[in-house]
């Protein structure tokens, strides 16, 4: 959810926000480098959703996307998280497909 919101900001805004204090390492997979995060935010901007593979909590996969109003402005975020135990690659693909559809439904066009 947080990365989806950050992706709505410019790189300069993200740098200014995150340079105030070090990024906390919540799990061994947490990205704590601003440059790593900025590269991921560019991908999120292109695909329209964010994915977290155990970055916030071990053994959890999550996906999130912004919801836009009629003007195209981001007004909310929707996300979901599931335990990684038993999660298959096809489940991950389905969740990405759902996020893509949510993105298309929330567009102003």
4 neighbors 68 (Cβ within 8 angstroms): no
Fold that domain 2-106 belongs to in CATH = Beta-Lactamase (3.30.450)
Mean pLDDT over 92-103 rounds to: 68
pLDDT at residue 91 in the model: 73
Quote the CA–CA distance of 62 and 51 in Å, as a whole number.
6
pLDDT at residue 99 in the model: 65
Q: Is the pLDDT of residue 108 over 70?
A: no
- Strand ranges of the sheet holding 50-53, from the earlier edge strand across to the other edge: 50-53, 60-68, 74-83
Mean pLDDT over 17-23 rounds to: 88
Quote the CA–CA distance of 30 and 53 in Å, as a whole number.
9
The ranges assigned to domains in the chain are 2-106
Q: Which of 5-14, 32-41, 51-60, 77-86 has the lowest mean pLDDT?
A: 77-86
Quote the CA–CA distance of 22 and 33 in Å, as a whole number.
9
- Residue, of 15 and 98, whose pLDDT is higher: 15
């Amino acid at each position: 959810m947080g990365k989806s919101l950050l992706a709505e900001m410019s790189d300069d805004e993200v740098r200014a926000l995150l340079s105030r204090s070090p990024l906390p390492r919540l799990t061994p997979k947490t990205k704590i480098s601003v440059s790593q995060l900025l590269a991921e935010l560019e991908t999120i901007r292109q695909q329209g959703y964010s994915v977290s593979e155990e970055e916030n909590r071990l053994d959890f996969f999550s996906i999130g996307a912004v919801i836009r109003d009629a003007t195209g402005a981001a007004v909310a975020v929707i996300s979901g998280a599931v335990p990684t135990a038993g999660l298959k690659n096809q489940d991950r693909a389905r969740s990405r497909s759902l996020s893509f559809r949510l993105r298309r439904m929330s567009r102003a066009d």
